Amino acid sequence: MPSNEILKAVFPLLEGTDLAACTAVCKQWQNIAQDDYFWKCLCAKKWPSTCKNSAPPITYHKLFKTFYKREINRTLLPPRISLHDLEFYIDFWADGNSLFSQVVPGPALQKGNWTPPPGISPVMRYHLDSPEYKLTLPVKPRFSVPYSQTVTASVLVARKDTNKVACVIHDATFDYVERSSCRKLAFDYLVLSPAYPFVSGIRAWIALLFVEDGDDGDIDVFGIEVDFCDAANSEEEVLWLLDMLDWK
């Protein structure tokens, strides 16, 4: 039996990865293995319905190669904005009185841009050194807040490249204290552009980073942290997420 006939008898019995490997053996094997009939046999095992179309929209070779394995980690395209394009407006209120109000350039929030003060807890230091991506900012001057006081936060962000503004956090209350890592937390749900109607439920978290201020129940705030851990864990992912906001 000619070698070509042997290969044509064997190739339909192979799995996709083995058939693909055959295309790299030699020119003869490549020419035979690229016959769409063999790939149709593979598609018939995985998606029988695709073989019921007399004129499939794409070749069975392309169909199998594209969809036989779910792509888990897709390469993220470079974001269309950078932190240098952004400016954040951060305001904290304590029982209706302004506690902190500052315009923060985007680069000032980059991770690792500042050194936390001495005296913070080991758990806090471990949290700040963890690989999770967070936007952080030192608070100068530091301020103290009683545990019992109601503190709220608002964060707007402006784009210098388009002169538009979006809301990140709207009047969120710090109603949760994580004592182990010395953080007081609040969150709000992001309002995304109508161009992304099926994306929702992504939270923006903001935290007051503090050290205990004696025995009188106050917290001494030395830093601010913003993260989007529901959906973004790198600078590129955060920038893509911010780009998706409902800019006005």
Q: How many CA atoms lie within 13 A of 232 on its CB side?
A: 24
Per-residue pLDDT, 145: 86
Q: CA-CA distance, 81 to 243, in Å (whole number)?
A: 7
Is the Cβ–Cβ distance between 226 and 90 less than 8 Å? no
Q: How many CA atoms lie within 13 A of 158 on its CB side?
A: 9
Q: CA-CA distance, 152 to 95, in Å (whole number)?
A: 8
User: Quick one: which of 135, 137, 151 has its CA closest to 226?
Assistant: 135
Q: What is the pLDDT along the chain (248 residues), one digit of tens a residue?
A: 567 788 788 888 888 888 888 888 888 888 888 888 888 888 888 888 888 877 778 888 888 888 877 766 677 889 999 999 999 999 999 988 899 999 999 999 887 778 888 888 888 888 888 888 889 999 988 888 887 789 999 999 999 999 999 999 999 999 888 888 889 999 999 999 999 999 999 999 999 999 876 656 788 899 999 999 889 989 999 999 999 999 99
Is the Cβ–Cβ distance between 206 and 185 less than 8 Å? yes
Residue 146: phi, psi to the nearest 5?
Answer: -65, 145
Q: Is 25 exposed, middle or buried (0-12, 13-18, 19+ CB in 10 A)?
A: exposed
Is the Cβ–Cβ distance between 142 and 221 less than 8 Å? yes
Which residues lie closer than 8 Å to 121 by C-beta, 6 or more apart? 180, 181, 182, 211
Alpha helices (runs of H) in 14-169, residue ranges in sequence order: 16-22, 27-33, 36-46, 60-67, 122-129
Per-residue pLDDT, 213: 65
- If DSSP codes are grouped into helix, strand and coil, which group holds residue 147? coil
What is the rounded (10 degree) CA torsion for 38, 42, 43, 47?
Answer: 160
What is the DSSP-derived secondary structure letter of residue 74?
P
pTM of the model: 0.76
Residue 174: phi, psi to the nearest 5?
Answer: -80, 90
The residue type of 100 is F
